[in-house]
Structure formats: C-alpha cells, structure tokens
Amino acid sequence: MSNNTSIKVPFFRVELGEDEINEVTAALRSGWVTTGPRTKQFEAEFAEKLGVSNAIALNSATAALHLALEAIGIQRGDLVIVPTMTFAATAEVVRYFDAIPVFVDCGADLNIDPDKLEATLSALEKNKPVAGLKPPYERIHAMIPMHYGGYCCEMNRIREIAKRFDVIVIEDAAHALLSKYRPDGNSEWENAGCMSEIGAFSFYANKCITTGEGGMGITNNQKYADRMRLMALHGMDRDAWKRFTDEGSWYYEIVAPGYKYNLTDIASSIGIHQLRKVEELRNKRYEIAQRYNEHFNKLNEVEIPPNDESTRIHSWHLYPLRLNLDKLSIDRASFIDELRDRGVGCSVHWMPLHMNPYYVKTYGYTADLFPVAEKEWQRLISLPIFPGQTAEEVAHVCAMVEEVSNTFRK
C-alpha cells in the first residue's frame, strides 16, 4: 500500500464562498426568509443564463420533474419512457400519478439508447409486449431522457423519435447545468434542459451548483410554466410574497390541489452566487477529469468515460470510471473497499432501476431485459470530482486507482 495513507479524499466536499455566506446573512437579516425577492432574482438570472423565458425555483429536481409531468397532464395508466440507468427520482415521479414507467436500456455512454428507445415505442404502438410489460396499453404520453453525469443524450435522435411517436419530452438535467450538445461539429450548441418542453435541474449538495437542497424547472412554454408555479404552492392563485407585501392583497383562491415545493430565499441566496460561478466550477471539474483521463488511459484494468468533445460540453458532475473486470481478480465492491482503505471515497451511479425490489415486485422485471445497464453497473465506480479538490487529492486518487489495479491485476 502507498505511504500516503494520511490523505483522505471524500467522495464530495462542499465549498461555499464568502459571497454565498454574506447573501444568506443578508437574507436572514432582511426579515424575509421564505420565497421572496432573492428567489425571484435567482429565477431571473437562471432564466437569462440558459436563455429561456421561465425558470421556476423549487425545493428539488424531483419536485421539478413531478410538476413537469403534472403540467403536461399525465394521467393514471399513461406510459412514460424513462431510462433504467438513472436515479430513483426519474421514475418515481411517474408512479406518483399511478402512471407506468417504461424502462429503456442505456447505450455505451450510459444514456438512454436511441435505437432501443425507438424499438420500444414501435412495440408499444403495435401493442406488443415490451420491456417486461404486456398490452393493453393506455396512452404513451412522455419520455424523460436523463443526461448521465452531465454528458448529454443524443438529443437530435431523441427529439426526432419523440416527434414521430407524438410523445412529449422532459429532460432530467439534474446533473447537467450548462452541459451542451450539438448533433455535429457545425451546429449551434444547445443547453441541456432547453432541448425539450421542460428541463429539471438539481441543486443537491454535490450537483453542478448547490443550494443545499433545491431545484429549478425551466420551460419556454408559458402554459406549462404557469401551471408549475401554481402547483408548486398549494394551487393558490397568489404566492406569499405577493400576499404579504405592499404589492399584494390578503385574498387568494385555491384553484387546484397543489403541492409545497417552493424554494426559500435562504437557499436562493446561495444559488444566486453559485450560479455566477458556474463556469468556474465547471472548469475546475473539467481539469480534474482531464487529469484522471490522462492517468487512467494508461491502465488496462480501467476504462475512462466517453466524451466526444465535438458534440458535447460535459459538466463532469460525475466521473464514472469503468473496471475491466476480466483483467482484475476482484469485483467492483472489493475495488471500492480497497480504495476506501486507501482514503478514497467513491459512490456508484446506479443499480439500474428495474433491478430494485419495488420495480421487480410491481412489474415483475427479470434479469436480461436491459443487458447493457445490467452489465455496466457492475463495473461502475464514481470517483471523487469536485471543484475544491486539491491537486494533491487528485494525484492521490490517481495513484490509489493505479495501486489497486496493479495489486489485483489478473
């Protein structure tokens, strides 16, 4: 084992600056801590940065996805296509409506595979059994591609397929703030979250920017935006800021049974300053990814994440290293244990959703339905990648991955 066991690199460490701290203090001193002027400002600056007409600040990306499905009118029994290689939230929001998540396998880039997406929609349209589900089917209404780790899906194909099958696209852009995509080297870059009807971002602690917990829904569709705003706050036709200030009146009406998903001004205070630094934060992650790529490219036991720089600008929210298990004498879990023993914190994104007990029990999913996700997840390790990671910490991760690879080489 390396001599350098004193260094401990956590999977993630949040570092907020004086700007965030001062703004939170100012919010606390202002006498207004719930949704108010700072949240309005955060929304306005977010919308401007992404070039969209509406940004709705919420307390999570899960809330944004839920409200997005509500706004497009998802009904009980509707089918919603989701990747199996994603976080719980992408599919659970479908279940909130008693609608049915139809899983699709990922491709080599870990994003939803457009060919399999197309085949799934064709089969559903023809009322054939698909993805573990059996006809009769109700309406196929939406799909939620998710940009894995901040690496954009093949959105051109996805949009074309969605149009052909008349399905509404909502992007789970939880990982992908300022990730960009273009179908080829000559096209204009497009921002993740802006390539569909509604985009959802997360500001959870380790995301591209954080507000502690938080999220944002964005859309250029005014009807969807109005509905999301309404449902984010109990279905009341006026929010608290408007009711309790000089601008407003005490009177409101409840026009729908909404939810309680608003973001506080305390959280937005953090978000305003995080957003102003988002490019700087991304550049730091990019530099770490470059260091990792250079180092791990030399090791036969591991595979670096795909990154086609002619068509993608990566947020590097995650650095998913893949183990070449045939070249190692240990499995992924033991590899993680070995790294932990050497002071490197790791995570795994994710066990595919269809393998989780809830989905197995509810839909009877069995093994081999989604072979790529099932194979890839067994060799995935998310390494530490965060803006405040020091050069020494990056070097330690490189050295320890190399050491474990060498020690357990077949």
Ligand X SMILES: Cc1ncc(COP(=O)(O)O)c(C=O)c1O
Question: What would the two tokens of residue 110 be?
Answer: 């870990």
Angle between helices 278-296 and 265-276 (to 10 degrees): 60
CB of 172 to ligand X, least distance (A): 5
* 35/86 with CB nearer ligand X: 86
The single-letter code of the amino acid at 12 is F
Q: If you count them, how many residues does the chain have?
A: 410
- Report angle CA 53, 58, 60 to the nearest 5 degrees: 125
* Binding status of residue 90 toward ligand X by CB under 6 A: yes
Closest to 160 (Cα-Cα) out of 143, 178, 180, 185: 143
Binders of ligand X among 169-188, rule CB under 6 A?
172, 174-175
Per-residue x/- track, 206-225, ligand X (CB under 6 A): ---------x----------
CB of 148 to ligand X, least distance (A): 8
CA distances from 106 to 26, 95, 96, 344, 388 (A): 45, 21, 24, 28, 31
Q: Which of 32, 87, 224, 365 binds ligand X (CB under 6 A)?
A: 87
Q: Which of 82, 89, 152, 289 binds ligand X (CB under 6 A)?
A: 89
Sequence-ordered list of residues with C-beta below 8 angstroms from that of 62, at least 6 positions apart, any chain: 89, 92, 93, 215
* 165/204 with CB nearer ligand X: 204
Question: What would the two tokens of residue 348 be?
Answer: 């795994």
182's torsion region: left (phi>0), alpha (psi -120 to 50) or beta? beta
CA distances from 48 to 68, 82, 220, 285 (A): 20, 29, 12, 23
* Binding status of residue 146 toward ligand X by CB under 6 A: yes
Binders of ligand X among 2-61, rule CB under 6 A?
60-61
CB of 373 to ligand X, least distance (A): 14
Q: Which of 35, 54, 62, 84 binds ligand X (CB under 6 A)?
A: 62
* Binding status of residue 86 toward ligand X by CB under 6 A: yes
Q: Which of 11, 97, 165, 204 binds ligand X (CB under 6 A)?
A: 204
Stretch of 86-94, 121-129, 189-197, 395-403 contacting ligand X, by CB under 6 A: 86-94
CB of 299 to ligand X, least distance (A): 27
Stretch of 2-10, 76-84, 167-175, 307-315 contacting ligand X, by CB under 6 A: 167-175
* Binding status of residue 202 toward ligand X by CB under 6 A: yes
- Cα–Cα dist 368/205, whole Å: 34
Rg over CA atoms, the chain? 22
Query: To which residue do tokens 């006026």 refer?
Result: 238
Tell me which residues touch ligand X (CB under 6 A). Answer: 60-62, 86-87, 89-90, 146, 172, 174-175, 202, 204, 215
